[in-house]
Structure 1
């Protein structure tokens, strides 16, 4: 399935496997048969996330299958998606069994350095390097957690979180949900409610990628309510954790095409960001004025409101973002530019996203549909357009 090169080819194959006509599938999904026909004939190369979720539910697959997420990683020794999956679904995690390690556990300080290095790889888009080291990190964190649950809880929670994030990017959303749940259970052995709340945010993000939009919103709001801060008294880390959850809820609402609800969450987040002032990164969650602007642009892009997306984009400070955060924002900006028929500028911005991390770029289904739509607009593929299209050729 991942070898198919277009959304339309993947849709047609899934539809025929299930024995549906185009009219039957369109009816099941609550979409127009014209849209389905255009997609399958490759006349149209993309659709909204809300439409993709409806089709995924009708076909009984994860949205990532239709989006064509890449399951493979760059060639780094020891890097394999299945190795991460196997670390999450490890037999030694069953009751009564123990980590695959007979030595002394690492100290909490040494383990934390490994966690920080792993997050550095993740936010730089170095997925192969992250995958190579992540199974060992998980096992070391499990060993410390078994010896001292409170001391080992933070590192183990974040190791599982990293596994969940990487599995989402490589199209293994079910295993990602298991990893996100393990992160929550590990964090509960610690003493930091705000850290725990951010891991509920990761689970919400995984559900968003599974197309479980109502549940993703509900979980984010419930977790945010549990740590709702006093803006004048609460520590900034708590506000970051809370703000990140509110933005998760906004994105889920936007993906469901509920503009009114999404905009209400954005207003709440904007008030919190104004109180924080400068953007912050706590528990590897980001929150502040630039991040509210990033998610506003993301939501407005999803709602097909390119003018509002570009207006929000003007308030984004790239220096406040990690590399892949900025890359994802540039994809939204490029899509909005393309929707405004500013094709050359869209090509330029999309290539900036690609150049930040080609490895990360090729795992983005949104980037693939954008590249295809840009190519559709061009009668002749220039070098920059070929760069975008070739990023997704197997």
Structure 2
């Protein structure tokens, strides 16, 4: 189902394919038939994440199918989401690597390629990442096949990047497989904190699948395995642990369990005080600003815009990666819109778009936000028109 159709058309098609009346689907999802009618007629062009998850479960699809995630990438030579998916689902994974008879690259030679790939991901350059990633996976697989311990870190992170890219392009099932491969590969290494962060990636994938309770439980279980002693533990341990606690907080917020989410945030805040400045370990970020980022996110999801904006004021933009800041701006824009500060919401959303137009158009939250802003305006201004056009083919 192509992302260029409206949310209402996608929803109606899915409902009719399953033979449900509007009332039957509303009952299955635990939502009002009036809401479903408004959505299908495109009178209302967005809904909350919680409602989308309920509808997705009732229709037996991933939430991304309803959201209309786009698989298309920027036109970079060799870039294709299907090529990344095929690298993940390669049948040769069942046996010996097809190139096992040639000399593998050294881990020290592959690591700069991995760093470049993460730079592309956090820079919102998904086309560049898709072009580079299949070769990186193949080279890392060859090294891992000949020396599992030496090859484990590079290959585990290559699988992790594949999972992240596949989520953004609407292939959540393949992303879950890639995340599982990352975990299993990391077990061949000797760094338990790296392994813990990969459980965090799996939790994040489940979050996008609408499996919120499972996402929370996995993050909490993994965090308990590496729970630090705040006075003695190395900072990278606290980063890995703190990232997992924030994953659990986001999942709880998505389930509208505000009390539990706030408890996780209090725990994470204590850890952030311990590390002091924000850190990036194993490509996981944690510290005071990142707790504030996720607090903004959660309070926006809980429809508490004043608290979201208060948390947003505590964020230091300079310690965030490019797309981390872009996603934070989307939450800030949403909170501003909820406070009926529409012009400011447009300005902040436009800033998020300018950070990476390619990344922006792959964000279901951005599409929903843009639709809600457009509903408030009788005429599309230049910046708002640009936002709307980002989701048109």
Question: TM-score, with normalisation over the residues of structure 1?
Answer: 0.98
Q: CA deviation at 1:22?
A: 1.1
Q: CA deviation at 1:102?
A: 4.4
Q: Secondary structure at the match of 2:280?
A: strand
Query: What is the match of residue 330 of structure 1?
Result: 329
- 5+ unaligned residues in a row in structure 2: which ranges? none
Does the 8 Å contact 1:181/1:203 carry over to 2?
yes
Query: What is the match of residue 68 of structure 1?
Result: 68
Does the 8 Å contact 2:76/2:127 carry over to 1?
yes
* Distance verdict in 2 for CA 1:17–1:322, change over 3 Å: same
**Could you list the per-position Cα deviations for residues 23-70 of structure 1 after superposition, in whole angstroms to 9, with x for gaps in the alignment?**
111100011112111211222221111111000000000000011111
Q: CA deviation at 1:99?
A: 3.9
Query: What is the match of residue 113 of structure 1?
Result: 112
Query: What is the match of residue 17 of structure 1?
Result: 17
Does the 8 Å contact 2:4/2:391 carry over to 1?
no
Query: What is the match of residue 91 of structure 2?
Result: 91
Query: What is the match of residue 156 of structure 2?
Result: 157
Distance in 2 (CA, whole Å) between partners of 1:2 and 1:202 is 26
Does the 8 Å contact 1:92/1:100 carry over to 2?
no
* Distance verdict in 2 for CA 1:3–1:248, change over 3 Å: closer
Distance in 1 (CA, whole Å) between partners of 2:210 and 2:35 is 19
2:369 counterpart of 1:381: no
Q: Secondary structure at the match of 1:122?
A: helix
Q: CA deviation at 1:101?
A: 6.0
Does the 8 Å contact 1:71/1:170 carry over to 2?
yes
Q: CA RMSD in A?
A: 0.9
Query: What is the match of residue 39 of structure 1?
Result: 39
Q: CA deviation at 1:97?
A: 2.6
Query: What is the match of residue 135 of structure 2?
Result: 136
Q: Secondary structure at the match of 2:285?
A: strand
Equivalent residue runs for 1:359-370 within 5 Å: 359-370=358-369
Equivalent residue runs for 1:192-231 within 5 Å: 192-231=191-230
Off by >3 Å, runs of 4+ in structure 1: 99-102
Does the 8 Å contact 2:4/2:392 carry over to 1?
no
Distance in 2 (CA, whole Å) between partners of 1:155 and 1:99 is 19
Question: TM-score, with normalisation over the residues of structure 2?
Answer: 0.99
Does the 8 Å contact 1:228/1:242 carry over to 2?
yes
| Mean Cα deviation higher: 297-306 or 6-15 | 6-15
Count of matched residue pairs: 393
- 5+ unaligned residues in a row in structure 1: which ranges? none
Distance in 2 (CA, whole Å) between partners of 1:69 and 1:232 is 44
